[in-house]
Structure 1
Amino acid sequence: MEIIIESIKKCITSLSNLVESIDWLEHEEKFNSLYMNHSKEINENVKDWPLMDSIDTTACISAIYLVLVLSLNFFMKFFKDVKLKFVVLCYNLFMMGLNFYVFSAILVTKYKAQDFGLCSKIHKNNDQFFEKMNKIIWWFYITKGFELFKTFFFLLRKKFHKINFLHIFNHSTMFPVWWIATAYFSNGALANAALMNSFLHIVMHFYFVVSSFGPSFQKFIWWKRYIVQFQMLQFCMLILYCSFLVKSGCENPLSENMIWLIIYYSLIHIALIYNFYTRSYYRIMNANLEGSKKIEQYKRLYNRTVSEDEFKVSASRRRPLHN
């Protein structure tokens, strides 16, 4: 025990020395310089498009999103839930269509450019397909803005259990992160990440559409747990791909700073999703165990027959799906 305490003290001391050794004033000056000049470096193909002249608008939208989420989370407790079933259905169908457009457009563009390798051919020196890919990536960035509405639908319908740190962190940060990606790196390498993510969201919104038809359709969405697993797999693949870009020396890929941003961002998501998945898994196991005990109690005390499937379906509804 003393050895563990001693190791923890050494670790804390090392971290303290590291923090003290950082020149925070220098980092502040670099950040201010980067912010003041960030609009000058924006890709000319996208600079005049909506929301792309500066990151300020996107950052403000994300900040307003956080304020509204906190406000609605408090005030909706005093009001009745809003009936939005048809609106949410239309929203999910719309998001399916928009993500399908992005997914198919990337595949078509890559096919025309014969861009099948890990070192993408679609970059600034390939004007024929680079501008086309810029438009597709911009639309993918726009989908991240539309995804903010999902949280408000949950709150207005008083589905507070579906709002957790993972959900809020993902939606509030993904929008500005993809602004950076769209503004500076709308190339074929970035399209590989958008390809995986758009496919995932097609499947997710299809799940939401099917589940909106009620409990009788629960048997058709037995595969929902694999969506969460695919989320983790997606970020793992993204880390591997970024690691390849760092070592490969591909012509004109993402910058080294952007690559490391994606790696760290993906690691945070993997940790949060894994925590969510394991907690949900054990919750289901405990719910099914409780259901089995209740079945035995009903059989002994009331001589009633209760279906195990009834308890399993009820338990499965207790685990919300997030993206």
Structure 2
Amino acid sequence: MVLISVYLFCLVLKLRYLRDEEKAPRYSLFCQGSASTAKEDALLYHGWSYMLLKSGELLDTVFFVLLEKNDHLSVLHFLHQTIALSAAWMAINDITGQVVMFAVLNTAVHSVMYTYYGLAALGPLLRPNLWWKKYVTHLQIVQFITLMVHSDIPLIYDCGCPRIMAGVVVLESAVFTVLF
């Protein structure tokens, strides 16, 4: 999961924000509308990869249920898995524009988070060296707040981004921040 998240993070960052300005315009970090062109095909393809990644993440919920690890399940966990997969599907239908930032931030945070979980799973000898657990939580909260603020922009200014997608991200981020 870490490698896939890092790969998608780098890819979307390159395709949208770090691209050669002469070949195609870069996305604006502030306010970006949809740009449905043939140049978006690569991003759409990787949007499907992102949704498959979210589907894979849903499997941990299935394993928790099958292994009867109910203490690992919470309203936040269930909502996150359900909403994340739904939001990924909706984004695929309009992956361009302002909502691309969601995938960029989400894959970056999940890369850090899964690295921590992977190292913690290696055993008790390594756990004392994982002093940065609280920073993973802080990083997640910063992600939620950043996405909430960033997705407010198309609700105020006409960026050409579907307002329903921006509203979904604002609502999702607010709910996760409150439940976290």
Q: Write the mapping of 1:236-251 to structure 2, written as runs, cut at 5 A.
A: 236-250=145-159
SS at match of 1:215: coil
Separation in 1, partners of 2:127, 2:67: 20
Structure 2 segments unaligned to the other structure (5+ residues) = none
- Counterpart residue number, 1:92: none
The alpha-carbon distance between structure 1 residues 179 and 264, as it changes in their structure 2 partners (threshold 3 A), is same
CA shift, 1:119, in A, is 2.8
Separation in 2, partners of 1:224, 1:152: 24
CA shift, 1:158, in A, is 4.3
Separation in 1, partners of 2:33, 2:76: 35
Separation in 2, partners of 1:257, 1:191: 14
Q: Is 1:144 paired with 2:54?
A: yes
- Counterpart residue number, 1:109: 15
Q: One-letter code of the match for 2:6?
A: F
- Counterpart residue number, 2:91: 181
- Counterpart residue number, 1:135: 45
CA shift, 1:180, in A, is 1.4
- Counterpart residue number, 1:99: 5
Separation in 2, partners of 1:161, 1:167: 11
Q: Is 1:260 paired with 2:167?
A: yes
Separation in 2, partners of 1:116, 1:169: 30
Percent identity of equivalent pairs: 22
Q: One-letter code of the match for 1:127?
A: A
Q: One-letter code of the match for 1:120?
A: Q
The alpha-carbon distance between structure 1 residues 121 and 258, as it changes in their structure 2 partners (threshold 3 A), is closer
CA shift, 1:196, in A, is 0.4
- Counterpart residue number, 2:107: 198
- Counterpart residue number, 1:123: 35
Q: Summarize deviations over 1:85-114 as a string: whole Å, max 9, x none.
A: xxxxxxxxxx11211121111122122254
- Counterpart residue number, 1:164: 74
CA shift, 1:123, in A, is 1.4
Q: Write the mapping of 1:230-309 to structure 2, written as runs, cut at 5 A.
A: 230-250=139-159, 252-253=160-161, 255-273=162-180
Alpha-carbon RMSD: 1.9
CA shift, 1:178, in A, is 1.6
Q: Where does structure 1 differ by over 4 angstroms across 4 or more consecutive aligned residues?
A: none
Q: One-letter code of the match for 1:249?
A: D
Separation in 2, partners of 1:176, 1:247: 24
CA shift, 1:172, in A, is 2.0
Separation in 2, partners of 1:221, 1:157: 26
Structure 1 segments unaligned to the other structure (5+ residues) = 1-94, 274-323
CA shift, 1:127, in A, is 3.0
Separation in 2, partners of 1:102, 1:229: 22
CA shift, 1:217, in A, is 0.6
SS at match of 1:171: helix
Q: Write the mapping of 1:36-75 to structure 2, written as runs, cut at 5 A.
A: none
The alpha-carbon distance between structure 1 residues 215 and 157, as it changes in their structure 2 partners (threshold 3 A), is farther
Separation in 2, partners of 1:127, 1:220: 47
Using CA pairs below 8 Å that are at least 6 residues apart, which structure has the higher relative contact order?
2
The alpha-carbon distance between structure 1 residues 260 and 120, as it changes in their structure 2 partners (threshold 3 A), is closer
SS at match of 2:9: helix
Q: Please identify the structure whose Cα radius of gyration is greater.
A: 1
